[in-house]
Structure 1
Amino acid sequence: MSLRPVSLPLLLALLFAGGALAQPATPPPAPDLPDDADVGAALDEADAPETAPAPAPAGQIDLDDVRKFTAVLSLIKQAYVEPVDDHVLMQAAIKGMLVGLDPHSEYLEASALDQLTEDTSGSYEGLGLEVTTADGALRVIAPIDDTPAARAGIKPGDTILRIDNVPVQADNLSDAVDMLRGPPGREVTLSILRLGANLPQDIKLKRETIRVASVRGRLLEPGYAYLRVSQFQSETGSDLRKRIARLQKDNGKPLAGAVLDLRSNPGGLLSSAVEVSDLLLDAGTIVTTKGRIREADMAFQATPGDALDAAPLVVLIDNGSASAAEIVAGALKDNHRALLMGRRSFGKGSVQTVLTLDETHALKLTTARYYTPSGISIQASGIKPDIELADLALSANENDPFSGISERDLRNHLKGDGEVEAGAAPADVPAARRGAPSDYALSEALNVLKAMALQRRPASPPAAAESSGKG
């Protein structure tokens, strides 16, 4: 549908014609309206009811609300300190309507539409931050892997107070988001307030062209794979399939288990979340969505075929796992396909649809809630992991000369057959275990995965009895 500019008098005529903005086939002539300076007074004087008007029928606009809107519009044009263009006021009114709905609905102009395309294609210029607006503040959902934001140590839950010394306030949140992006190579300073901290800290970052590889993977140990999905883009499903096949080949035999890391994954495309879930499920419901319009009611089912051949799976989540990441986690948990470990997820249980207005304008509108296979909406509550882990980091113990004394520390002790030189690591300690793992959650996930693999391993059949006979 193509939109064309509408003058203020015509807009008011349409509003008063039917109350529901429903224009008849032959529109009535616009009524004679006073000048802008007298609109509010005229509305108050004309046809003033003696009693409070009855509420408008469902689907129609209350005329009293129309009067208030036009009165406010008139007063702004008449009394505001500087002249304001009608177009600017109407654009602000549109944005205000959407801001009042929920944090994820918004009016998209050309630049915002381009940004949305960049996010789903995996390439844009900025810092690598996924942010949301909440209670008039700009909060970090998650930094994207291997970006300036991730390397600078920005964490989920951080609040951005200033950008290049410009305060982030409730009335400039959209502008603040735009300021995070810009030409590569330019520095930007963020003033960050961390959860639990009393004072903010300034962090300097340099913008880059962010090319987000949404899937990475490696072998943690022979037989055990690590799969990291940082964002759900258009190619994420096919990239994950290729990565699993490559790791299977590198391992030389079917994998004994895998860890799927969805921590600090801010989400992305619903279709990609369904594709990834289907890749790891052999059957069952993936997700259902329900809204007010028929098109919003959908149900997605897994198709036969599990890329991991039913090998044990552990999924890592945290408070930065949101939206599409929660769809995958919920599908794998409710279908008893994976064990979830970590912290409660973000809790974004809504679906947004981009509704085109014209070539350069659209609405990103929340049109549905999604439900996990068990029929639960995780909106604002998140997904609770099966095994909760604190946000800890492991480090090696400092050498303490008074701890760990044993026989070999005694002077003139008898040498043992397996004794090694002082300072050397015992021969039976694998190199990977000599230092403490830097990722506590991943280390714990690997331990649990090995236990699951042992449970799955079939018991060795009893040895066949040797036959004997006499000739």
Structure 2
Amino acid sequence: MKVSWAKKGLWLSTGAILGAFIVLTSSVLADNAKQPATTPSEKVISQLPLNELRAFVEVFERISKDYVEPVNDKKLLEGAISGMLSSLDPHSAYLSPENFKEMEEHTTGEFGGLGMEVGLEDGFVKVVSPIDDTPAQKAGVKAGDLIIKLDDEPVKGKTLAESVKIMRGKPGSKIKLTIVREGVAKPIVLELTRAVIKVTSVKHKLLPNGMGYVRISQFQLRTGPDLLKAIKKLEKENKKPLNGLVLDLRNNPGGVLRAAVQVADTFLNSGLIVYTKGRVKDSQLSFEAEKGDALNGRPMVVLINEGSASASEIVAGALQDQKRALIAGRNSFGKGSVQTLMPLNNGGAIKLTTARYYTPSGRSIQAKGIVPDVEIDRVKVEKLKAAEFARIKEKDLSGHLLNDTKSKSGAAKDKNDLDSLLANDFELYEALSLLKGMYFTQQMGVK
């Protein structure tokens, strides 16, 4: 992986939205925390809007003196900082010293809570995506859900950080979420039990016909190396190289930019992966692939949906532009901005949007998302009852001859696996069908 940048030491997050779970590198936080906060230059001071600052001081004094109850000055100032950042975009935010410390703890991939990526929309908490094998996912929380109440407390009027703080809590304790879901007339009430969330970002499974399946739930520091290990395990189980791979990025909210680059680089031999552009030199980055395709050119299908955001979109966009994989599913979330974490002297930090990222062909997916090459609609396949289509067969006839050959257990297993896929995950079933077609086309030498 080749990277060019204007200044080393810039750390970026492509996680979908500051929320119940934030992914950043541990070394990001450590390196930045050591940097002393800088003082404004004379040029900046001379450009400050003095009339607006006078108004700010006047409002501060009025609240301090005249508000119905005494207000802590620190709370007022932190609220002003938070408001300044939240007025920019949904991803810029102020982290108090307490929240900043919690973020550092979350970089290990283990944390307490409900296990979902959230943001703020129209004053309500919006679920970007639930994380695999967490209380949120098990309770049936879905991408796009709007949380309007936490227990019996309305969300409207709270900051995202305040709502997230309520959702966190002691493992084993319960919380009630009232959710509004598109297409459902009445609000849905779900009770979740908080847990220590241990995120395994890479999971794998061998599919029929020597095809591999890798699921990446989010992009953490170790995701790139774990992906390579998963592919090697699949090949060992298959006893030969895989015939193809389904890379599942559905409901993946994003994470560390570097991890996304490593994942894309795993399947590319050369070429641009992603580049970023912003107002300052530090935000000009460009990442290129190095030689070494882990699949040696064998076909790939990447699954995405409306919950695939940010780092997921970087990977899908790079593999799509480089014509390395077929992208299947539904339009992705559409987060094409990059955030930089900037520690402050008070022990807190600001997470500031500093750049947009672009796919190799120069596409910005901001507010548009990645459009799949093959669209797969949401459907549920149900097996008809035998009585609905029953017909008499040879085996039902009295005195029929027995079959004198033994069935192959491998073929039977493959059929059972496919039946299970069709019933439980139609999108993956369709992806596997596409992959098989790509493999046979490749074997026939059709370009």
Give the TM bin, normalised by the shorter chain: 0.7 to 0.9
| Secondary structure in 2 matching 1:227 | strand
Q: 1:446 aligns with which of 432, 435, 443?
A: 432
* Displacement of 1:396: 1.0
Percent identical residues: 45
Q: 1:188 aligns with which of 158, 170, 175?
A: 175
**Corresponding position of 2:204:** 217
1:103-159 Cα shifts (integer Å, max 9, x gaps): 111111223223323443210011111111122110101111111111111110011
**1:57-206 matched pairs, under 5 angstroms:** 60-206=47-193
Select the structure with the greater relative contact order (CA < 8 A; seq sep ≥ 6).
2
Q: 2:391 aligns with which of 396, 399, 405?
A: 405
Q: Say whether the 8 Å CA contact 1:283–1:303 is kept in structure 2.
A: yes
| Secondary structure in 1 matching 2:158 | helix
* Displacement of 1:397: 1.2
**Corresponding position of 1:267:** 254
CA–CA separation in structure 1 for the residues paired with 2:303 and 2:206: 16
**Corresponding position of 1:21:** 45
Q: Say whether the 8 Å CA contact 1:125–1:183 is kept in structure 2.
A: yes
| Secondary structure in 2 matching 1:171 | coil
* Displacement of 1:73: 2.0
1:83-107 Cα shifts (integer Å, max 9, x gaps): 2233222111111100101111111
* Displacement of 1:327: 0.5
**Gap runs ≥5 in structure 2:** 1-34, 406-410
Q: Say whether the 8 Å CA contact 2:119–2:160 is kept in structure 1.
A: no
**Corresponding position of 1:437:** 423
Q: 2:213 aligns with which of 214, 226, 235?
A: 226
Q: 2:339 aligns with which of 340, 343, 352?
A: 352
Q: Say whether the 8 Å CA contact 1:149–1:205 is kept in structure 2.
A: yes
Return closer, same or farther for 1:447/1:220 CA change in 2, 3 Å cut-off: same
| Secondary structure in 1 matching 2:214 | strand
Q: Say whether the 8 Å CA contact 1:19–1:62 is kept in structure 2.
A: no
The code of the aligned residue for 1:456 comes to Q
* Displacement of 1:431: 2.9
Return closer, same or farther for 1:372/1:429 CA change in 2, 3 Å cut-off: closer
Q: Say whether the 8 Å CA contact 1:407–1:413 is kept in structure 2.
A: no
Is 1:457 aligned to residue 417 of structure 2?
no
Which has the larger Rg?
A: 1
The code of the aligned residue for 1:343 comes to R
| Secondary structure in 1 matching 2:439 | helix
Q: What TM-score does the superposition give when structure 2 sets the normalisation length? A: 0.85
**Gap runs ≥5 in structure 1:** 7-13, 23-59, 421-425, 461-471
**1:197-346 matched pairs, under 5 angstroms:** 197-346=184-333
The code of the aligned residue for 1:430 comes to K
**Corresponding position of 2:365:** 378
The code of the aligned residue for 1:442 comes to L
* Displacement of 1:413: 7.5
Return closer, same or farther for 1:434/1:143 CA change in 2, 3 Å cut-off: closer
The code of the aligned residue for 1:432 comes to D
CA–CA separation in structure 1 for the residues paired with 2:43 and 2:117: 40
CA–CA separation in structure 1 for the residues paired with 2:169 and 2:413: 53
* Displacement of 1:76: 1.8
CA–CA separation in structure 2 for the residues paired with 1:354 and 1:69: 26
Return closer, same or farther for 1:287/1:414 CA change in 2, 3 Å cut-off: same
1:296-327 Cα shifts (integer Å, max 9, x gaps): 01110000000111110000000100011110
